[in-house]
Amino acid sequence: MPTAREALLDAALRALADRPWRTVRMVDVAALAGVSRQTLYNEFGTKGGLAGALLRQAADGYLTGVDRALTAPAPEHPAAVARWTVRAAREDPLVKGLLTGLWGEGLPRPSRDVPAHDVPGPARLLALARDRVVAASHPAAPCPTVAGRCEIALRLALSCVIVPPPPGRTTRQCAEPDSWSPITPMITSEIDTSFSVETTSPRKTMP
């Protein structure tokens, strides 16, 4: 059975699916959750506190998915996490905002509804994902090469989120959510290419 906090967060998401965040009222969220308004205020304090909890839940959900993707064989970790990143960002607008800094109208967002330090920004969230890949691939001695390959894969994944295919057309690089396998060859090929360059030229840091 969900706790009162879980029920309230679920109710807030349902309310957000129906209307812009600015018009979501605390009393409506409490009613949807089947609890008193005082219970809602006891849990989150303010509407900004509720918004922050929603964003932190979205970030945690994304990172939980990263951990699930890391059940793939170690050489496939960067591509597996990249595929999950595309899927998560397309399925959840809050995750997309956290990963890209691009917030759809009507969503709660850091700096306007929530203090920015309360939720991870794009750089921090991607760094957390990258560090998980590195730790899972080389738990004893983290390898800088794995970190670089993972960052490339994540940047490629986010490019597919930010610049989707034209209407009515699906490309190999930016497959729609019901078909993730086409993105794998593009990502793994780019990773292999960058790895070859790294082994024959001075290491370059990504901007």
> What pLDDT, on the 0 to 100 scale, is given for residue 1?
76
Residue 101 has phi, psi (to 5 degrees) of 80, 10
**110: three-class secondary structure by DSSP:** strand
pLDDT profile of the chain (207 residues), mean per 10: 91 95 95 94 94 96 96 88 93 95 91 78 92 81 74 88 65 40 47 42 37
This prediction has a pTM of 0.78
Closest CA to 79 of 143, 165, 173, 166: 173
Each domain of the chain, given as residue ranges in start order, spans 1-45, 64-200
Report the alpha-carbon distance of residue 52 to residue 191 in Å, rounded.
Answer: 35
CATH superfamily to which 1-45 belongs: Homeodomain-like (1.10.10.60)
